Structure 1
Amino acid sequence: MTTDLAGGWSHFDYEITAAARAVFKEALEGFTGVAYTPSAFATQVVAGTNYCFLCTGTVVVPGSPQFPALLYIFKPLSGKAHISEITRIKP
């Protein structure tokens, strides 16, 4: 999964790899209030790796509707992955 543009984003991959799933899990460790389920991801190599996950979000209360969101995670070369931005996708 690469792009010809240096620093550019890859195309979305609809098969979440084990490595991407591990980054997602690490970044959301201890995150509460909304559950996110990834369905695709793209990457951007910088001084580390930016991940953009296309997710379905659900507020953790009974009967809450689901909503689409982009969840951005940065995984530095050394250190823990962390959420850098969450963008709710609106119609």
Structure 2
Amino acid sequence: MKNLKKLIICFLIVICALSMSSCSGCSRQEETTAGGWTKVEDGTITNEHRELFNKALGTIDGLSYEPIKLLETQVVAGMNYRFLCNEHTSAENAPDTKVIVTIYEDLDGNAKITSVVPTE
């Protein structure tokens, strides 16, 4: 009978240890999701980012965007970039607004703006 109790206790300890180790793996998995956005800690905009931004911008009548900070990147079939930007309009006395500009760069190096969303 004592051996059976010891066996059951050992079995329960092993199950508890396994369940705790699997839970810690779950939290790591949530931090890095395949295809998810990755925050850029320092937000530095490099010359390469500026070139990409200017290539994607092309010509937009009446609006211009000035990148302030690189917020996030996302690996897809190419790369997505999210920039915090000042949006300038050509209208007189119009205030600049802050927007988030998302740019997609394909595998051939072509770039385009996919969204411009005002910050709140």
| Residue of structure 2 equivalent to 1:59 | 89
Partners of 2:76 and 2:104 lie apart in 1 by: 10
Partners of 1:39 and 1:68 lie apart in 2 by: 9
What stretches of structure 2 of length at least 5 have no aligned partner?
1-30
| Residue of structure 2 equivalent to 1:46 | 76
Partners of 2:108 and 2:116 lie apart in 1 by: 23
1:22 maps to 2:51: yes
Greater percentage in strand: 1
Q: What's the TM-score, normalizing by structure 1?
A: 0.85
Q: What's the TM-score, normalizing by structure 2?
A: 0.66
Q: Secondary structure at the match of 1:16?
A: coil
Query: Which has the larger Rg?
Result: 2
Count of matched residue positions in the alignment of Structure 1 and Structure 2: 88
Partners of 1:27 and 1:10 lie apart in 2 by: 21
Partners of 2:82 and 2:55 lie apart in 1 by: 14
Partners of 2:45 and 2:109 lie apart in 1 by: 22
Higher relative contact order, structure no. (Cα contacts within 8 Å, ≥ 6 residues apart): 1
Q: Which moved more, 1:19-28 or 1:8-17?
A: 8-17
Give the superposed CA RMSD. 1.6
Q: Secondary structure at the match of 1:6?
A: coil
**Stretches of 4+ moved more than 6 A in 1?**
none
1:32 maps to 2:69: no
What stretches of structure 1 of length at least 5 have no aligned partner?
none
Identity of aligned residues (%): 35
Greater percentage in helix: 2
